[in-house]
Amino acid sequence: MRSGKRDSWTVSPGIGLAGRILLVAAGYYLAGLIGLQLRLPPYGVSIIWPLNAILLAALMLIPVRMWWFCLLALVPVHLNLVTFFQPANIPIPTMFGQFAANAFQAVVAALALRPLAGFPPRLDTLRQMTGFVLLAAVAAPALASILATFLFVMTGWVDDFWFTWRMRFLTNVFATLTFTPLILLTVAEGTASLRNAPVRRYVEFGLVIAGLFAVGIPVFGLEDAGPKSYPALIYAPLPLLLWVASRFGLRPLCLALLVIAFISLANAVAARGPFATNSAEENLTQLQLYLVAMALPLIFLTTVLRERRRAVSALQRSEEEARRQLAQLSAIYRATPTGLAFVDTELRYVSVNDYLAEINQLPAAAHTGRTLKEVLGDFAEEIEPLYRRVIKTGQPIVDTEVNMRGAAVGPGAGRVWLRSYHPVKNAEGNVLGVNTMVQEITARKRAEETLQNIAAGVAAKIGETFFRSLAEHISRALQVEYTFVCEVLEGNSRARTIASHFDGGEINSIEYDLVDTPCEQVLRHGMYACPRDVKVAFPRDLLLQVMEVEGYLGICLKDSAGRALGLMAVMTRKPLLDMESTQATLSIFAVRAAAELERKQAEDRLRSREQDLRMSEERYREVVESQTDLVCRYLADGTLTFANEAYCRFFGYPREKMIGRKFLEFIPENVRASAAASIERLKKERLPLEGEHEVIRPDGSVAWQHWLDYAIIGPDGEAIEFQGIGRDITDRKRAEEANHKLVHASRLAMVGELAAIVAHELSQPLSAMLNNAASAELILRQSIGPELNELREIVADIREDNQRASASIRRLRTLLRKQQIELQPLDVNDVIADALHMVNGEAVRRRIQVKAECDADLPLVRGDRLHLQQVLLNLILNGMDAMDATLKPERHLRIHVARSGNGTIEVAVRDAGQGIPPDMLPHIFQSFYTTKREGMGLGLSIAKSIIEAHLGRIWAENNSTGGATFYFTLPVDHEATAAPP
Ligand code: ADP
């Protein structure tokens, strides 16, 4: 038996295309040799023709595009085979015809089989095998045999068409059924199953093959053919073949079939056994049909068994997989930290997982069959409507929050859940029950509420209240025994508690050293956590020892610039367990606390500064208020912004009524202008200004004050306010005045005496002169001569002058005799004319232009002519004095008289002199006030008393263009004015 091709195929997947084609060529050659050996005489037709089966297997195993190459390569092989081994009478065209038919058969079979068996080809299923048998083993050989036989007949090699067709057809069927699967399976499945098979399998297979020989040899060889033989015995190998088919599969079956074929063939060739009884032609057909009939059911049986086995193992695998997945799912179901339950439409538990069982405080198994009401009690009433709704609508309800915090007892009391309900439906869409998912969110809820509570508890508060509230809320929320909020002092070496909470109460503020304390670590690192044994870690921290602190967490409170302001710490007597959430909560409020601490410290600083300020202000106020001096402050327009007690008392107004008044209203009208001028000077010169002036008290009395004023300079260098320190000098003034009057009086007395002496002395010579003048006139009256007329005029003038001088002396004597002023109707114009007449010569001498602007229609006044003349003379002479330094063109003196309001006549004497210093204005009418070297300082004082004796008023003003103007008024004499002249 020469069938050594299998090994070469087993390595074929690893070798290249050329190698494969070489292998195919070798196989083809070898198969040809075998086929040629298995010819049954006398026809020379091979009983088994494996050549085409091998070619089919080869085409099935190489890509279609390489087929032509493979077939081309086989042409010389075929020719060689035929030439050397076939009888020499084969014509050349027949040889090509043989090859063409072989190639045609293989190509047709391969093309038909490929879509069914795939590539690499498989014959695993019944469908594939049926297709293989019908297309490759039956149809293709049938067709090819027609072609081959036709060619043989045409070339004249054979004559009997049907006989040749049948021979060729049958010889190909069995070969295709056995060789092709053997090769294809070996290439497809490799040798792994052979290598892995246990030895006993080999032994078993060896025994079966041996059995086949043992049965085959007697059945096909030993028994003589003839009438005594039992034809049925040819089926004796069938049990063994069935054994191989059912126990070993297709490949061993093919081998076994080939063994039987070999035994039966060998015997038939040797003309032994059941297939040697008839004609050779008949024997051949019988044998071939026998082999095909044996092979076909067995091959199908193996295929079915194989398919079945594969299906079973696939089922097993998928079952295993399903079981594994189920185990996995049920493990997840049981252990998942989410409560899961399935409840049927009658609201009875079908299954629950361990997590939910624990929540429900009932073992998982005990749930089964119980209703919601039985398991959950009153709580069931709350959730049953949800289940019913899901069952009714078929729609899920997702994430409903169930708060059991209020419940004191029962499953899930004190916790918060998130529940979802999903309907479970059958294939028709009917709801079978409800899957429930229960998730505990108590911790999340609590954390949220904690934060909300603390935030709400401290939101509206500031300062110490804030810190107290914060400490209290944090203690409660984090369930810690101690909470401290501290601020650091003295360059971070000490700390003081701002707020603290301890076992539900507050502790008084304490101050402590930071050295060797966990707080020191907090300040150093920004945060410090010690979940346990903190008092062991910091043995020198006595507070920790006293308070028996075990767990500690502290966070530094920093200001916006990152400077440590303080710290916030929580402490527990047991180890601090939930460090992460404690830290998170503390961190959140540390930010707020730091901001508040920064604000508080800034506020403290401000407050202490304010207090210092207030104290110093208090001190100053006390000093100022206790003063007997008057102290006030005022703005540039005189508005008082401050007045001390003494000031208010002096003017008799309470402070609130004093502030906002203008102090100028306390000053007599005539002095106000100079007061305003003084403020202007203060503003400009910024030098302290001293002055004295009269003031009017609320009762109308006049008092005197001495003031020292200075400007207060603002940041921009401008005077913003003025301060005055004053003193009541009324008494001093009165004494001075009295003194002045005394001096004045004594001087007046002296002057009066002097004047009386002078008047007396002058009256003698004057009367002597008058007598002489009268005598001279008398003489002249008697003399005649035109030249004497001039002399007469001179003497008359002398007499008139003498009389006037005498009148003056008389009046002086009258004045000195303190005679009353004689008031008579008087024309002021006349008085002015007299006065001008008197100063005319002086004016010319001093080069001063004197001009009077009189009004002829003036009413008469009541006055004393001489006294008024004296007043005018004094004013004119003072004006001339003032213009000593004035340049010539400006030396004007104007006298203006006009009617003024209130029934008075106003006379003004205006000069262009140096003017009067404003601060002197109040003094010029005082007796003995003079700025002249030889002045008496009496002129204006006398003028004032004369005018006031006339019920008039006299005053002076500086001109805007320079110089001064002196005014006096005299009341109109209405009676005299109204009377006809
Ligand atoms: P006397 O002329 O002797 O000084 P008066 O009482 O007449 O005395 O004047 C007092 C002072 O008033 C003068 O010394 C002078 O300083 C001032 N005075 C008076 N009239 C004028 C004036 N027209 N211009 C400037 N200063 C004047």
Instruction: Check pocket membership of 874 for ligand 1, CB cut-off 6 A.
Output: yes
- pLDDT mean over 713-722: 88
pLDDT over threshold 80, residue 475: yes
Q: Please report the pLDDT score of residue 2 as a whole number.
A: 37
Q: Please report the pLDDT score of residue 955 as a whole number.
A: 95
- Rounded Cα distance between 442 and 436, Å, is 18
Q: Please report the pLDDT score of residue 747 as a whole number.
A: 56
| pLDDT tens figures, 164-200 | 888 889 888 988 999 999 988 888 777 777 888 889 9
Q: Please, what sign has the CA dihedral across residues 65, 70, 76, 82?
A: negative
Q: Whose CA is nearest to atom 23 of ligand 1?
A: 879
Strands 45-46 and 904-910: unpaired
Strands 494-502 and 482-489: antiparallel
**938 C-alpha to ligand 1 centroid (Å):** 9
Q: Please report the pLDDT score of residue 850 as a whole number.
A: 92
- Range scoring the smallest mean pLDDT among 36-40, 653-657, 916-920: 36-40
Instruction: Check pocket membership of 882 for ligand 1, CB cut-off 6 A.
Output: yes
Q: Please report the pLDDT score of residue 740 as a whole number.
A: 55
Instruction: Check pocket membership of 937 for ligand 1, CB cut-off 6 A.
Output: yes
Q: Please report the pLDDT score of residue 504 as a whole number.
A: 67
Return the bridge partners of 852, or none: 895
- pLDDT mean over 929-952: 85
Instruction: Check pocket membership of 929 for ligand 1, CB cut-off 6 A.
Output: yes
Instruction: Check pocket membership of 931 for ligand 1, CB cut-off 6 A.
Output: yes
- pLDDT mean over 473-497: 86
Q: Please report the pLDDT score of residue 146 as a whole number.
A: 93
Q: Whose CA is nearest to atom 20 of ligand 1?
A: 878
Q: Whose CA is nearest to atom 7 of ligand 1?
A: 939
- Rounded Cα distance between 301 and 517, Å, is 91
pLDDT over threshold 90, residue 317: yes
Tell me if residue 561 falls in helix, strand or coil. Answer: coil
pLDDT over threshold 60, residue 151: yes
**855 C-alpha to ligand 1 centroid (Å):** 27
Tell me if residue 787 falls in helix, strand or coil. Answer: coil
Q: Which atom of ligand 1 is nearest to the CA of 941?
A: 6
Instruction: Check pocket membership of 827 for ligand 1, CB cut-off 6 A.
Output: no
- pLDDT mean over 423-442: 89
Q: Please report the pLDDT score of residue 927 as a whole number.
A: 78
Q: Please report the pLDDT score of residue 229 as a whole number.
A: 59
Q: Which atom of ligand 1 is nearest to the CA of 913?
A: 24
pLDDT over threshold 90, residue 41: no
| pLDDT tens figures, 613-670 | 899 888 888 888 888 889 999 999 999 999 998 999 898 889 899 999 999 889 988 8
- pLDDT mean over 730-735: 81
**915 C-alpha to ligand 1 centroid (Å):** 10
- pLDDT mean over 715-737: 86
Taking each helix axis from N to C end, the angle separating 280-335 and 250-269, rounded to the nearest 10 degrees, works out to 170
- Residue with more model confidence, 888 or 911: 911
Residue with tokens 């299954």: 351
**877 C-alpha to ligand 1 centroid (Å):** 9
- pLDDT mean over 466-495: 86
- Rounded Cα distance between 120 and 184, Å, is 9
Q: pLDDT-based confidence at 43, cuts 50/70/90?
A: low
Q: Which atom of ligand 1 is nearest to the CA of 925?
A: 6
- Residue with more model confidence, 11 or 739: 739
In order of 10, 177, 394, the CA distances from 20 in angstroms are: 11, 22, 65
Tell me if residue 373 falls in helix, strand or coil. Answer: helix
CB 295 within 8 A of CB 137: no
- pLDDT mean over 927-937: 81
Q: Please report the pLDDT score of residue 4 as a whole number.
A: 37
- Rounded Cα distance between 160 and 168, Å, is 12
Q: Whose CA is nearest to atom 26 of ligand 1?
A: 916
**939 C-alpha to ligand 1 centroid (Å):** 8
| pLDDT tens figures, 854-909 | 888 889 998 988 889 889 989 999 999 999 888 878 899 999 999 988 889 999 99
Residue with tokens 């400006």: 890
| pLDDT tens figures, 832-862 | 998 888 888 788 888 999 999 988 888 999 8
Q: Please report the pLDDT score of residue 13 as a whole number.
A: 47
pLDDT over threshold 70, residue 948: yes
pLDDT over threshold 80, residue 744: no
Helix locations, 514-668, DSSP H: 518-525, 534-537, 542-547, 579-625, 645-651, 655-658
Q: Whose CA is nearest to atom 8 of ligand 1?
A: 937
Q: Please report the pLDDT score of residue 10 as a whole number.
A: 38
Which string of DSSP letters, residue by residue, matches 210-268? Answer: HHHHHHHIIIIIISPPSTTS-GGGGGTTHHHHHHHHHHT-HHHHHHHHHHHHHHHHHHH
Ligand 1 pocket: which of 744, 873, 874, 881 to mutate (most atoms <8 Å of CB)? 881
Mean pLDDT for the chain?
85
Q: pLDDT-based confidence at 954, cuts 50/70/90?
A: very high
| pLDDT tens figures, 204-258 | 999 999 999 998 888 888 655 555 556 678 888 999 999 999 888 888 999 999 9
Q: Whose CA is nearest to atom 24 of ligand 1?
A: 882
pLDDT over threshold 80, residue 87: no
**872 C-alpha to ligand 1 centroid (Å):** 13
Q: pLDDT-based confidence at 40, cuts 50/70/90?
A: low
pLDDT over threshold 50, residue 388: yes
Q: How far is CA 684 from the centre of its chain?
A: 56
Q: Whose CA is nearest to atom 18 of ligand 1?
A: 878
**394 C-alpha to ligand 1 centroid (Å):** 123
- Rounded Cα distance between 112 and 59, Å, is 12
- Rounded Cα distance between 232 and 238, Å, is 11
Q: Which atom of ligand 1 is nearest to the CA of 966?
A: 23
pLDDT over threshold 90, residue 967: yes
pLDDT over threshold 70, residue 147: yes
**930 C-alpha to ligand 1 centroid (Å):** 6
- pLDDT mean over 593-604: 87
Q: Please report the pLDDT score of residue 1 as a whole number.
A: 35
